[in-house]
Amino acid sequence: MDNNLKIIITPQEIEDKVTELGKVISRDYKGKELVLISVLRGSVYFTVDLSRKLTEPFVLDFISISRYGEKSDSTGIVRITKDLDVNIAHKHVLVIEDIVDTGLSLSYLLRNLKTRNPESLKVCTLLNIVDRRIVDVPIHYKGFDLPDIFVVGYGLDHNENYRNLLHIAEFKKE
């Protein structure tokens, strides 16, 4: 194991939380026309595992957004780099995120999606870092609250590395 990594959430803890979220989301969307929107790339692992726990039918689509400038830039200037393929008008939409920290990108995405007239629009995130929040964003379903640390694994990366880890680890830059 990389000396820069400290496991903070085990694969079993992730699986238990995803199962729990799947049950709650299935109950809340019973009989509704649900569209899951996975925010690429980090949330793919979470989205796949969560979708397998859902008992209600759903449509799955993907969207990709990126910030202008440096990744650490907190200006909130965002653009869509891959848009949805499905029409979400009059459907119940659940945005699946890997992590919500500043809230800037998610806030932009939610404003954009609201213009498409969904019946409802909610957010599910695996990780929530409130200490970094700049913009208040609604989170309806969340896995874990974390302190202000940099994490990798289970879809989250550092320079496109570590996404494939089955756990989530704190990454300490040297």
Q: Which residues form the catalytic set?
A: 101
Question: CB-based contacts of 127: which residues, under 8 Å, 6+ apart?
Answer: 98, 99, 100, 142, 143, 144, 146, 151, 156, 168
Which two three-digit tokens encode residue 107?
Answer: 């806030």
Distance between CA atoms of 40 and 63, rounded to whole angstroms?
6
